[in-house]
Amino acid sequence: MKNIAIKLHASDYPDPIRLEKGDLVSVSEKHKGPKKLDNWVRCSEENYNRKGWVPEQIISKCTDESGVIIKRHTAKELQLSSGEILIGLAELNGWIGLKR
């Protein structure tokens, strides 16, 4: 699916959480807010001490507070210019993975 950026976007998160399959995470809270953002949990990863929101579906829970990542994930936001064309890769929990 093609998407067109309608305005400039600059990320406020210069060092987002990046996870590989098999990474261990600590889960601290479940997102509370708009329904379309259900199934997001706040995680910390051990390798680089990054924190961020992660789709709950990609975590194999070990306990209520820890788990193992079963699918690669990055919370990196693209820097966008108005009118830029992007390709939608997949939608999960109200967010779309994009590439240029």
Compute the average pLDDT of residues 77-82: 93
pLDDT tens, position by position, 21-57: 999 999 999 988 777 678 999 999 988 889 999 999 9
Range of the domain at 80: 2-99
Q: Which long-range contacts (CB under 8 A, 24 or more apart) does 58-64 make?
A: 58/19, 59/25, 59/27, 61/27, 64/27
Decide if pLDDT at 13 tops 80: yes
Can you give the pLDDT at residue 49? 87
For position 67, which CATH number holds? Answer: 2.30.30.40
Number of domains composing the chain: 1
Can you give the pLDDT at residue 80? 94
Mean pLDDT of the chain: 91
